[in-house]
Amino acid sequence: MRRYNRIRRRLGIADFVLGLGLLIVLLATGWTARLRDLAYLGAGQIYVLAVFFYVAMLTVINKLLGLGLDYYGFRVEHRFQLSNQRLRSWVRDQVKGWLVGLVIGAILAELVYATIRAAPRFWWLIAWAAFIVLYVFFAQIAPVVLFPLFYKFKPLENEALKERLMRLSERAGTRVKGVYEWKLSEKSRKANAALAGLGATRRIILADTLLEKYTDDEIEAILAHELGHHVHRHIPKGILVHAGITFIGFWAANQILHFAIERLHMFEQLSDFANLPLIMLVSAVLSFLLMPALNAYSRYNERQADRYSYTAIPSVAPFISGMNKLADQNLAERQPSRLVEVLFHSHPPIAKRIQAAETWLRSHAGVHG
Ligand SMILES: [Zn+2]
């Protein structure tokens, strides 16, 4: 279990370093200018098309560079018997993932350079506002457009469970738009549940691997946790946090672009899309620096959702047994070092979540029988 988590962590770090390295090499060697010239050549000097070709080449290079690590990650999941995905299906997922990345990346890049050309002084403010709108849009369509590209979903059929969830959500004073069964078992042996979507697409999704092996009481406890995210409005709050961070990111990108153009003479002008790796570098460094803070915020939300679930279910015992099962099934590190928790974990360690539930149980003994 420790070894699995250590490998996964190192894979994540290696992947990040590789991506960062690519951006730095492109900028330091000037190869980004050659890619831009190539893109212009292919696009017949049409700017919008050239931006697209440039992004396409960048995503291809990035994918090819990271393919070894991706494949190693696939092998690791098998080695620890956490995956039953066939190689062919994995390759299909890689291609789909690359395509989704290309479409989203191209939309974002076109938007950035269109605003740069239209409003060179305030492009970063306009692009920031547009990014937030797009972010909300993607959060909304993700469960109906993006997730189904990789997994099958169907409305939950277990009537008894559905009934329980409706009662749970009524007690919470909220309405969830739907509960879906997520066919995770086709690819993985892990179990998972999540709250996804926004507005009309807001839904709870439950992996079939969870529905199979957990008692109704345990599933209810996990549902109650997801409902806790909903009750505490974690998705809209997350969007606000995201908006604040991207604001800083765009401001910094604008400053650094000007510095690179005026002082370092790396590029002729803002609209030279060979500077895209520099914008991406700013975003990568910013997310890296903010990761511990964002993870801390996420762990805070998770604890809040856990506390909600204790009060929403008749007994905390299934919450504890469900957590134990999840930890075993997903090979989760029950008690990682404090440093690993602070740097990498978006959820509190299972040991702490169970401990918190037990503490709550003791202090509320007699209230919830
Ligand atoms: Zn959660």
Note the pLDDT tens digit of each residue in 328-346: 888 888 888 888 888 888 8
123-148: average pLDDT: 93
In contact, 267 and 261? CB cutoff 8 Å: yes
58-85: average pLDDT: 90
Inform me whether the pLDDT recorded for 162 exceeds 90.
Answer: no
| Ligand 1 center to 133 CA (angstroms) | 25
88-106: average pLDDT: 94
| Ligand 1 center to 306 CA (angstroms) | 8
| Ligand 1 center to 222 CA (angstroms) | 9
Q: What is the pLDDT of residue 361?
A: 87
What's the pLDDT band for 320 if we cut at 50, 70, 90?
A: very high
Percent of the chain exceeding pLDDT 70 equals 98
Computed over every residue of the chain, the mean pLDDT equals: 90
202-220: average pLDDT: 89
Inform me whether the pLDDT recorded for 369 exceeds 50.
Answer: no
Q: What is the pLDDT of residue 67?
A: 92
347-355: average pLDDT: 92
Q: CA 129 to CA 168: how far, in whole Å?
A: 36
| Ligand 1 center to 169 CA (angstroms) | 16
| Ligand 1 center to 196 CA (angstroms) | 11
| Ligand 1 center to 340 CA (angstroms) | 19
Inform me whether the pLDDT recorded for 368 exceeds 70.
Answer: no
Which pLDDT tens digit goes with each residue over 246-299? 999 999 999 999 999 999 999 999 999 999 999 999 999 999 999 999 999 999
The two tokens of residue 315 are: 């007994």
| Ligand 1 center to 299 CA (angstroms) | 9
| Ligand 1 center to 31 CA (angstroms) | 43
Question: Which candidate, 237, 177, 190, 230, places its Cα nearest to that of 84?
Answer: 190
| Ligand 1 center to 270 CA (angstroms) | 41
| Ligand 1 center to 180 CA (angstroms) | 17
| Ligand 1 center to 302 CA (angstroms) | 5
| Ligand 1 center to 80 CA (angstroms) | 24
What's the pLDDT band for 152 if we cut at 50, 70, 90?
A: very high
| Ligand 1 center to 195 CA (angstroms) | 8
| Ligand 1 center to 10 CA (angstroms) | 24
| Ligand 1 center to 320 CA (angstroms) | 15
Tell me the residue type at 312: A
Comparison of pLDDT for 44 and 331, the residue scoring more: 44
| Ligand 1 center to 128 CA (angstroms) | 28
125-152: average pLDDT: 92
